[in-house]
Chains A and B, each alone.
Chain A
């Protein structure tokens, strides 16, 4: 009977391929779009995740997310250092600047100013060079995207210079940093260097990075900091999520991706479900003949479910392979850094696909069960 089910399914090549294509297509659409969405959302907080040394982010109570900062006065740093249970606290500058490349091209960059002594806030993954050299005057580190933008096609070498706001800085390290949400190069310098570059504004302390003393929990340190200073303190994880939520609530991104995913689901259900249902309905007479001959309802249900599972599994496999292929092919593209298919997305898509297929086969099964085998004698 399994053989018969398989032959029935594959006998009509066009319909069989149509079914598989429909499922593969909606699998691809769903998994691809959800992956891009998660990648984008991940990017919004990637710079927070890159700071691995500090547990706590402290900021003005009005700062809502990473990319829009109300700066603090410098003395807040000393107030935080004075809070009992804080082991250390360092400043972090986050702003923007413009870099003029050797060929005169300008490009906006994200400028990160790191604590002069500790360099806390620098991603740990260094592609080339020694980040400690940042302590030398007039130096900078740049991420790979930035290097490739300003020196396209050239091998990574240290010692080259770039102009930031009329200061010429020497590159002492190339950093492998996560892609930020706005796809701009990231430049790292010492905190004092960064302040010199930007000048003018009075308050330039974007964030304070801190770590609780041994034995003090993050939560306890946060409670004490807010109590003592009125500043907002969050764990890196919480701040990351707060930033992600800010983007989810304040941009059209989730809605647009949500719409695509819903369309993929609907197209999948309608096209795949409908095709599968029609496939069964067109074979109704054959199922009727089998019922008359003495094949039980249970076995016919088994045949239909088997057909559904085959179509679902092949279609899903193809669709997921297409998505995986996409991310493999674009893996080297720096603009698409950070986009990948998470196992959760594969599982979720599988669940959605099998839901579609089982809904379609449930309707088909119903048609076959209520079918009177006596129809086989009607013309």
Chain B
């Protein structure tokens, strides 16, 4: 197995054409190893979310090479790209993006339902994942009955339930207070980091930097330096 979950070489992304063109990614060279938690940090507007979307296959790059889990993403078309995401990626969003009409357990079960699981089996599995994240008693709650931290934990469960090999998170703590943010990151580290899996977290919340194995600093459309926190995360 390729030890690198993500490999970007000279990746470019430009929005629009002609005079309105905005060059957001300007030659990103970047790798994300398995078995670790990698943070992508940098000033606002430098292109972090854009890079994450490209890596997750939600945006097409305008130039460069991108391999995710050993597959050149450019080779995937339409339906196979969707299926690749469904099987191999887990998503965590800043605004949680839970479906308000589904219970916590049903929300966590969505990737399995999308894969064709029976609802009962999927919800049972979701309940056990939620239990690992300390939400055993809230499985039947609706999202609007949960606190922000609890909602984000449901979102973690949704990202983890189908055991993907790459988890992408965009600002997972910025809608939470410091204490809750710290707590959910602790849980995420515990639950998500596995030898075969890479976790990529975009953030500019420096208080959670200690959770990272490595931190990639991005500026003006490029990854400028990658620092490894020697001896692993400091908390």
Name A's B-contacting residues (CB within 8 A).
1, 3-4, 7-8, 10-12, 285-286, 288-297, 299, 372-374, 376-379
Q: Are B59 and A293 in contact (CB under 8 A)?
A: no
Instruction: Evaluate contact between A11 and B101: CB separation under 8 angstroms.
Output: yes
Query: Could you mark each residue 51-86 of chain B with 1 if its beta carbon is under 8 Å from any beta carbon of chain A, else 0?
Result: 011001011000000000000000000010011111
Q: Is the CB of B53 within 8 A of A374?
A: yes
Tell whether, in the assembled complex, residue A4 and residue B113 are in contact, meaning their CB atoms are under 8 Å apart: yes
- What are the 3 tightest A-B residue pairs by CB atom distance, in nearest-first order? A294-B86, A11-B101, A289-B97
- Whether B102 contacts A293 by the Cβ 8 Å rule is no
Beyond contacts A286-B100, A294-B86: 13 other A-B pairs, Cβ-Cβ < 8 A, are A4-B110, A4-B113, A7-B99, A286-B99, A289-B97, A293-B91, A293-B114, A293-B158, A295-B82, A296-B79, A296-B83, A377-B93, A378-B49
Pick the contact of A374: B58, B83, B84, B111 (CB < 8 A): B58
B85 touches A294 (CB 8 A): yes
Determine the chain B residues whose CB is within 8 A of the CB of A285 once the complex forms. 97
**Cβ-based interface call for B9 (8 A):** no
Interface footprint category on B: 20 to 34
Q: Does B140 contact A (CB under 8 A)?
A: no
Could you tell me which B residues sit within 8 Å of A by CB distance? 49, 52-53, 56, 58-59, 79, 82-87, 89, 91, 93-95, 97, 99-102, 106, 110-111, 113-114, 119, 158, 170
**Contact among A3, A288, A292, A378 for B113, CB-based, below 8 A:** A3
Are A290 and B59 touching (Cβ within 8 A)?
A: no
Q: Please determine whether A4 and B111 come into contact, CB atoms closer than 8 angstroms.
A: no
Chain A positions within 8 Å of B79 at CB level: 296
* Shortest Cβ gap from A281 to chain B (Å): 15
A286: nearest residue on chain B (CB-CB)?
Answer: B99
B101: nearest residue on chain A (CB-CB)? A11
B97 and A376 form a contact (CB under 8 A): yes
14 A–B pairs (Cβ distance < 8 Å), ordered by A: A3-B106, A3-B119, A4-B102, A4-B110, A292-B85, A293-B111, A294-B84, A294-B111, A296-B79, A297-B82, A372-B58, A376-B91, A376-B97, A379-B94
Complex Cα spacing A289 to B89, Å: 13
Q: What is the total of A-B residue contacts with beta carbons within 8 Å?
A: 81
Whether A294 touches B114, Cβ cut-off 8 Å, given contacts A374-B59, A377-B170, A379-B94, is: yes
A8 near B99 with CB under 8 A, answer: yes
Residues of chain B within 8 A (CB-CB) of A294 are 82-87, 89, 111, 114
B52 touching A377, Cβ below 8 Å: yes
B113 lies within 8 A of A377 (CB): no
A379 pairs with B95, CB closer than 8 A: yes
- Cα separation A292 to B59 with both chains bound (whole Å): 10
Other-chain contact of A290, B83, B87, B106, B114 (Cβ < 8 Å): B114
Bound CA–CA A379/B83 (angstroms)? 25
B192 CB → nearest A CB, Å: 16
Contact B99 A377 (CB under 8 A): no
- Which residues of chain A have C-beta atoms less than 8 A from B84's C-beta? 294
* CA gap between A378 and B119 in the complex, in Å: 30
A297 to B85, CA, bound (A): 13
Q: Tell me, in angstroms, the Cα distance from A377 to B56 when the chains sit together.
A: 11
**B94 proximity list for chain A (CB < 8 A):** 377, 379
Most chain B CB within 10 A, of A4, A7, A372, is at A4
The docked-state distance in angstroms from the alpha carbon of A288 to that of B95 is 13
Q: How far apart sit A376 and B49, CA to CA, in the bound complex (Å)?
A: 10
A286/B97 in contact, CB under 8 A? yes
Give the Cβ gap from A102 to chain B, nearest Cβ, in Å: 68
Closest to A11 in B: B101
B102 touching A7, Cβ below 8 Å: yes
Which residue of the partner chain A has the closest CB to B142?
Answer: A11
Q: Which of B91, B94, B101, B114 has the most CB of A within 10 A?
A: B101
Whose C-beta in chain B lies nearest to the C-beta of A296? Answer: B82
Closest partner residue, chain A, to B48 (CB atom) = A377
Question: Is A293 in contact with B86, judged by CB distance below 8 angstroms?
Answer: yes
Measured between C-beta atoms, what is the minimum distance from B174 to chain A in Å?
9
- Contact assessment for B113 and A293 in the assembled complex, using a CB-CB cutoff below 8 Å: no
Contact residues in A for B89 (Cβ distance below 8 Å) = 294
Give CA–CA (A285, B93) in the complex, Å: 12
Which chain B residues border A377 with CB–CB below 8 Å?
A: 49, 52-53, 58, 93-94, 170
Chain A residue nearest to B170 (CB atoms) is A377
Among B89, B91, B119, residue most surrounded by chain A Cβ atoms (within 10 Å): B91
A1-B113, A374-B58, A377-B52 known; A292 vs B91 contact (CB < 8 Å): yes
Residues of chain A contacted by B119 (CB below 8 angstroms): 3
**Residues of chain A within 8 A of B59, CB atoms compared:** 372, 374
Contacts A294-B82, A294-B111, A377-B52; A8 near B91 (Cβ below 8 A): no
B101 to chain A: which residues have CB within 8 Å? 7-8, 10-12
Closest chain A residue, CB of each to CB of B89: A294
Residue among A3, A290, A294, A373 with the most chain B CB within 10 A? A294
- Which chain B residues lie closer than 8 Å to A290 at the CB level? 110, 114
Interface centre among B56, B86, B114, B170 (most CB of A within 10 A): B114
Bound Cα distance A288, B100 (Å): 14
Cross-chain contact B114 with A292 (CB below 8 angstroms): no
Complex-state Cα separation, A11 to B49, whole angstroms = 31
Q: How far is the CA of A374 from the CA of B61 in the complex (A)?
A: 13
Please name the residue on chain B nearest to A378 by beta carbon.
B49
Residue A289 contacts which of B49, B52, B99 (CB distance < 8 angstroms)?
A: B99
B83 contacts A11, C-beta separation under 8 Å: no
Q: How far is the CA of A299 from the CA of B95 in the complex (A)?
A: 24
Chain A residue at minimal CB-CB distance from B115? A294
